[in-house]
């Protein structure tokens, strides 16, 4: 719209200049023709010279002049002269020239004629162009709505298909011929790209699953052999300590392997069964399961239920979600410490005391982020929680740090 306005303004200026030049050219031609007729009549009838000393009805006057070589040269000018009818000064076009009478005496001839009222003309031109501008803009809007909407309909269909496509699902990318060469070419290239990416995705998925399963057996065998070796009475204390450290490292590897395998399964949508899950019952069950750990760590847990938190969820994922949050609250608590759980209809709050400062909310859900806390942790607990909630857009997880406590809120929006 701005571009059209600028183009029309430039065009209007050029149009006005060309139009006025053509008007003045036609007026000047008329004045020159009138000059010829007056000089011819003055040559034949010298009385005209004495009768037209001032401008009158005929709009010309003849005055005595000095003889010079450019006497008969045409000189045009534009002057404002008062008009009684309009009671204002209006522009006139004036031709000044000279001639010799039949007696050979030089005379000055001035002829004037009223020209177009340029101010009014300019205003009318601006009004006309404004109306034209509005008509053009309204026409463009109508064309956009009626024509371009139909033209871009296949493109919007492509966007919808891309938004609905998921690598984890077996259904291929589908499209219809659009009868538009560029969109058909785009669809073809998208289909080829997605097919290649699907193959890569399936290959990576298979590799991760196979690698995780294959690692479980040698890790279990190694841990078993270390257990047998630790029972050897001939070992020295220093050797036993080193073997215990090695075993602890292997256990960490087992946990890491299981966590990565779980992340892979979550992201590959392998937990598809949905049912009504009562999170109150899940929390009550987990509190009982963690009772021994809570007593060992000297942590006091408080569970407050104002209402029932029930959502459509996969039961296994719900158990993993709450279990990870509780383990996180226990692992990074004080000794003695507290955990407060508050359940309402649309929110679950899990708060725990901690000797550490606030975590960075921009990074806590990233994989392997551990901050300055337990170095033995693998940094995947909260990442698993976030991956689960990403599968359920109606649920969100917020983190905050208030008065020495870490707050994790699960909200049902």
User: Half-sphere exposure of residue 273, counting CA atoms within 13 Å on the CB side?
Assistant: 5
For position 279, what pLDDT does the model report?
87
Gap between the Cα atoms of 274 and 257, Å rounded: 26
User: Half-sphere exposure of residue 336, counting CA atoms within 13 Å on the CB side?
Assistant: 6
Each residue's pLDDT tens digit, 336-381: 888 889 988 888 898 888 777 767 566 566 655 555 455 455 456 6
Which segments of the chain have a pLDDT < 50?
A: 372, 375, 378
User: Half-sphere exposure of residue 396, counting CA atoms within 13 Å on the CB side?
Assistant: 5
Q: Does this chain's domain 2-126 share its CATH topology with 181-267?
A: no
Q: What angle, 0 to 180 degrees and rounded to 10, lies between the N-to-C axes of helices 153-164 and 181-230?
A: 10
For position 96, what pLDDT does the model report?
92
| Cα distances (angstroms) measured from residue 394 to each of 77, 312, 366, 413 | 81, 10, 21, 5
Which residues share a beta bridge with 206?
Answer: none
CATH class of 181-267: mainly alpha
Gap between the Cα atoms of 86 and 38, Å rounded: 29
Gap between the Cα atoms of 99 and 321, Å rounded: 110
Q: What is the DSSP string of 139-193?
A: HHHHHIIIIIHHHTHHHHHHHHHHHH--TTSSPPP-----S-HHHHHHHHHHHHH
Domain limits of the chain? Answer: 2-126, 181-267, 275-412
For position 58, what pLDDT does the model report?
80
CATH class of 275-412: alpha beta
SS3 118: helix
For position 361, what pLDDT does the model report?
62
SS3 411: strand
CA-based nearest residue to 97, from 86, 87, 85, 106: 106
Tokens, residue 150: 């139909």
CATH class of 2-126: alpha beta
User: Do 354 and 334 contact (CB within 8 A), yes or no?
Assistant: yes
CA-based nearest residue to 79, from 118, 112, 56: 112
DSSP state of 406: E
CA-based nearest residue to 54, from 27, 81, 73, 74: 81
For position 267, what pLDDT does the model report?
64
For position 378, what pLDDT does the model report?
47
For position 33, what pLDDT does the model report?
92
For position 360, what pLDDT does the model report?
58
298: left (phi over 0), alpha (psi -120 to 50) or beta: left
User: Do 108 and 96 contact (CB within 8 A), yes or no?
Assistant: yes
Each residue's pLDDT tens digit, 180-236: 888 888 888 888 888 888 788 777 777 766 776 677 777 777 878 777 877 778 778
Gap between the Cα atoms of 68 and 411, Å rounded: 102
């Amino acid at each position: 719209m701005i571009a059209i306005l600028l183009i029309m303004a430039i065009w209007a200026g050029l149009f006005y200049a060309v139009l006025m030049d053509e008007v003045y050219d036609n007026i000047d031609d008329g004045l020159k023709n009138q000059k010829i007729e007056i000089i011819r009549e003055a040559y034949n009838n010298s009385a005209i010279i004495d009768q037209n000393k001032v401008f009158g009805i005929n709009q010309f006057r003849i005055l005595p002049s000095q003889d010079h070589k450019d006497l008969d040269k045409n000189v045009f000018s534009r002057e404002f002269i008062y008009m009684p009818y309009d009671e204002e000064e209006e522009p006139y076009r004036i031709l000044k020239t000279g001639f010799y009478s039949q007696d050979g005496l030089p005379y000055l001839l001035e002829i004037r004629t009223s020209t177009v009222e340029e101010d009014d003309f300019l205003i009318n031109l601006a009004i006309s162009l404004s109306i034209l501008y509005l008509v053009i803009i309204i026409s463009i809007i109508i064309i956009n709505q009626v024509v371009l909407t139909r033209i871009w309909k296949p493109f919007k269909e492509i966007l919808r298909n891309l938004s609905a496509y998921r690598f984890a699902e077996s259904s291929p990318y589908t499209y219809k011929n659009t009868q538009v060469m560029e969109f058909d070419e785009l669809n073809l290239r998208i289909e080829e790209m997605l097919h290649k990416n699907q193959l890569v995705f399936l290959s990576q998925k298979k590799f991760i699953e196979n690698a995780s399963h294959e690692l479980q057996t040698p890790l279990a065998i190694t841990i078993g052999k270390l257990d047998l070796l630790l029972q050897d009475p001939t070992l020295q204390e220093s050797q036993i300590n080193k073997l215990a450290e090695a075993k602890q490292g292997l256990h960490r590897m087992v946990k890491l392997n299981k966590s990565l395998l779980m992340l892979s399964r979550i992201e590959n949508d392998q937990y598809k069964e949905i049912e009504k899950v009562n999170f109150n019952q899940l929390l009550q069950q987990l509190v009982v399961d963690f009772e021994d750990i809570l007593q060992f760590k000297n942590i006091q847990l408080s569970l407050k239920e104002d209402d029932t938190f029930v959502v459509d969820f996969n039961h296994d994922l719900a158990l993993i979600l709450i279990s990870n949050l509780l383990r996180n609250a226990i692992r990074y608590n004080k000794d003695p410490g507290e955990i407060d759980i508050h359940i309402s209809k649309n929110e679950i709050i899990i708060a725990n005391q901690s000797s550490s400062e606030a975590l960075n909310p921009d990074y806590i859900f990233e994989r392997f982020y551990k901050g300055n806390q337990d170095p033995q942790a693998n940094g995947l607990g909260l990442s698993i929680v976030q991956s689960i909630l990403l599968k359920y857009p109606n649920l969100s997880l917020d983190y905050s740090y208030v008065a020495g406590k870490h707050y994790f809120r699960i909200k049902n929006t």
